[in-house]
Amino acid sequence: MLKSDERGKGLRPERKSSRAGAPPLKLGLIGDNIAHSKAPLLHSLAGQLAGIAVSYERLVPREIGLGFDDLFARCEADGYRGLNITYPYKEKAARRVRVEDPLVRAMGAINTVIFEPDGAHGFNTDYSGFIAAYRQVRGTDGAGRVGLFGAGGVGKAVAFGLLKLGVQALCIVDLDRAKAADLEARLGAAAPGLPVTLADSVEGLPDRIDGVINCTPVGMVGYGGTPLPRARMGGPGWAFDAVYTPLDTQFLTEAAAEGRTIISGYELFFHQGVDAWRLFADCPVDPTQLRRLLGESGAGPQA
């Protein structure tokens, strides 16, 4: 199996900021359906705690009238320090950057970009964020047998995170069989011997399953619904939803009602954001203080 630092994912060593008196840290988020994203607030609050002015823009390609590649190039030319990348551009972004970490290269998806003098560098803090969110709730308990809905960018990061969390078998459910097969091949190269099956509907899930994961946009504000009917939710076990707008998705609400331990997508959002901030600003942020400020702002659970 490929080895990599699960928490940092190639993050630089922490040090105090030396940006006093510098122009605002220019950041952005490229994605679709991001009007409700809390990322601008998270990074603004992180900047407040670090004493760094932050400019953070939501960048929706179709609203700006540019394709992803042209928008990405414009951000690099316009002096952005870095970008967050979200659905549906994480895999496309991975092809435009230098990725030093072998495990992130194996995933084929990134969610964080840093612009350096020698070009754009890519990282995946969804991976480290998912591991942190899982362990926060389940400690050292292994993931067991897992059903994963969605083989896109976040699905890839979560699937590779499961390798660190003791997954015993994985069923990938995606209507796009080619995308699911691509993830299966990537996992096979990183973890030979892991049992991986593919399904294009919920009917293909095994009868016994410990963890269920939603890495599709289903359930997000503007989409609604759940990828897994409550009748198939079962329990006990655990459930994770990568969606965090709204905080209480139908998927997690029904999982809790069926006796599953739930892991909120808010925790992935929070932990990946902490890791992304370290990359953007080259300095740490106090997670406890940041969580408290986000809760007080109404952007997350009260700390």
pLDDT of residue 15: 41
pTM of the full structure: 0.90
Spatial strand order of the sheet with 167-173 comes to 196-199, 167-173, 144-149, 211-214, 237-241, 260-263
156 is catalytic: no
pLDDT of residue 222: 84
pLDDT of residue 300: 81
Neighbours of 236 (CB within 10 A): 9
Q: Are 75 and 137 in contact (CB under 8 A)?
A: no
Q: Where does residue 166 fall: left (phi above 0), alpha (psi -120 to 50 degrees), or beta otherwise?
A: left
pLDDT of residue 12: 44
* Structural domains in the chain plus CATH codes: 25-125+268-296 (3.40.50.10860), 128-264 (3.40.50.720)
C-alpha to C-alpha distance for 225 and 223, rounded to whole angstroms:
7
DSSP E strands in 4-140: the ranges are 25-30, 54-59, 82-85, 112-116, 119-123
pLDDT of residue 276: 98
pLDDT of residue 40: 97
Active-site position among 90, 156, 164, 179: 90
Run means of pLDDT, 10 residues per run, the chain, 303 residues: 49 46 89 95 98 98 98 98 97 97 96 98 98 97 98 97 97 97 97 97 93 96 92 91 94 96 97 98 96 92 61
Distances (CA, A) of 229 to 32, 141, 157, 232: 26, 26, 24, 6
Token pair for residue 10? 């190639």
Token look-up 């699911």 returns 180
Q: ∠ at Cα 36 (32, 41), nearest 5°?
A: 115
Q: Smallest Cα–Cα separation from 89: which of 270, 277, 217?
A: 217
